[in-house]
Structure 1
Amino acid sequence: MSRRAALGGVLSVTSAALHHGWAVRSVPRRPHVTVARGRRIPPTLQRSVHLHRADLTPHQVAAGVTDEPTTLLDCLRQLPRVDALCVADSALRAGVGRSVLDRIAEEARGPGSPQVRWVAARASHLAANPFESALRDIAFDVPGLCVEPQVVIREDGLTVRPDLVDVRLRIVCEADSFEWHGKRSALRADARRYDLLVVRGWVVLRFAWEDVMHDPDFVREVLVAAVALAQQHTEVARRRRSAA
């Protein structure tokens, strides 16, 4: 018998998200299970799961799992912001309608509702995976930086679509995956792309998975410095135009 069934509960939060086919930033070591508020659970069973309590209605549950809207609301309300954004991005990418997310944000009340609305407003189906979502979450906190996922850059015969782009500051952020660069041809193609962007005046930043996931302060510091550098470039260009 599964732990969920033994508890008389339903899979919820990131365990439900995984059941729905959505990607998460971190797979839980113990399943998330929601049980009725008044249900008594033996301590030994409590320690085997991430236990949540809520009085769910029948239409919020299907086959022992919270339905998609309930799962989204739970994730956006209860998870750290970066994890919530990863789930929201993935849900949109998997085909959940934007209207569903908007309705969840509009109806959210109580603790965690500001985060629900914040994440819902910024979620995007264009983020390719939780790695990119987590990098974008860090970028949101950098003053002056406004990145968008998968923006197509067409310039002087070059056409590229980086992971994150701030068009105004001409900053490109790449979530560099070792798996993607497993072949020399992929490494060469990306190296050429980065070089061609740099010589056209773009600031190109490449971030490793380990830093984005485990050292966001480092990533944030680099982004802050990149914004300052880009602003300097913009000011120099403005002065040159004025002098001409």
Structure 2
Amino acid sequence: MSTVTLLPAVSPAQALFDCAVVMPERDVASLVDAELNRSVDPDEFRDLCLTHRGRHGMPAARRLLRHASLRAASEPERVLGRELSVRGFALAPNLPIGPYVGDFVDERARIVVEVDGREFHSEPEVFRGDRRRQNWLVREGWMVLRFAAYDVLAHPDAIADETTAAVN
């Protein structure tokens, strides 16, 4: 703890940790994911979890860190990444495959999961580019699972179940 203009202040990692141990997991998950991607070093957060082992809320803080959805490009991708991780099925986010980048990739199973939102994928050139990318991936032996962002946000558990079923 330090002082700023005579007021006590904690680090961003400590503030995030304090939120993680007192707030309901479902309410704080997006904050944890966002800050671990932006202003808080995941290792510093992990160290706080180790330092405060017996503190109330620690199991939740450790789960939030373990299932953090890092490097997600959008909120639907963040939500799906966390749901997959909860199932012990973390896929690599935003991984290059040839000349393209897959939203979620399992290289061993050769599966790419794409989350498409109307905001970015309704423009004609983006729409056509998505088709060219999917055709290239299929020709190269990849299975492509494509989900609407709306469906991911409305039913993340069902989308995660469908994804894990396709890979297993």
Specify if TM > 0.5: yes
Give the deviation of 1:189 after TM superposition. 0.9
Residues matched between the structures, number: 160
Q: Which runs of 5+ in 1 are unaligned?
A: 1-56, 61-66, 229-244
Give the structure 1 partner of residue 74 of structure 2.
129
- RMSD value, Cα: 2.5
Query: How do 1:102-117 and structure 2 match up within 5 A?
Result: 102-108=46-52, 109-117=54-62
Q: Among residues 64, 68, 77, which one is paired with 2:12 in the alignment? A: 68
Task: Among all aligned residue pairs of Structure 1 and Structure 2, give the percentage whose two residues are the same amino acid.
Answer: 32
Alignment-derived partner of residue 120 in structure 1: 65
Matched, 1:58 2:58: no
Q: Does 1:173 align with 2:86?
A: no
Q: Deviations over 1:178-218 (max 9, x none)?
A: 10113111111111111211222212112222222221232
Deviations 1:92-141 (A, max 9, x none): 33232233222232234334312312332343542223221111112124
Distance 2:117 2:72 in 1: 14
> Partners of 2:163 and 2:34 in 1: how far apart?
24
The residue that corresponds to 1:150 in the other structure is: 94
The equivalent residue for 1:190 is 130
Structure with higher RCO (Cα < 8 A, 6+ apart): 2
Tell me what 2:42 maps to.
98
- For 1:146 and 1:84, the matched residues in 2 are separated by 20
Aligned to 2:162: 222
Structure 2 residue ranges without an equivalent (≥5): 1-6
